[in-house]
Amino acid sequence: MLALYPDSGAIVSASAGRVTTSRDSLVAGIQYFWRSVGVNMRDPRWIWDSLHVDVLSPRHAVVTGSYRIEHLNPHNQPHVLGGAVTMVFEKRGSRWLIVQEHLSDRPQVP
């Protein structure tokens, strides 16, 4: 996952009511997710429900989409996480990298 982000420079990420502006903070957030949530996912599948791409310039694009992650929980029961995300990509060299993002979790269904 971290390969989607630049190795240096500012990265702005808004998620779960918080804004982070450094790679270190982003790394900590991703690691926390995998230690607390991802570790419980069995056979996860990332599915894009919708995806919208707007090219802003030869080096910049915005991608907005909704997604879901279907998986089995530790009791082998089906479970789904999902939400919406908007990402600003910048082309650096030959790579397209996320420099800003906003994630919005889909409310859990009881």
Structure tokens at 28: 């900590």
* pLDDT at residue 51, rounded to an integer: 97
Give pLDDT, residue 109. Answer: 66
Give the dihedral sign, CA 16/19/21/25: negative
Q: Which domains are seen in the chain, by residue range?
A: 2-105 (3.10.450.50)
Q: Which residues pair with 72 in a beta bridge?
A: 42, 78
What pLDDT, on the 0 to 100 scale, is given for residue 107?
A: 80
Residue-by-residue pLDDT tens, the chain, 110 positions: 889 999 988 899 999 889 999 889 888 988 988 898 888 999 999 999 999 999 999 999 999 999 999 999 999 999 999 999 999 999 999 999 999 999 998 887 66
pLDDT recorded at residue 2: 87
> HEC string of 9-21?
CCCEEEECCEEEC
pTM above 0.75, yes or no: yes
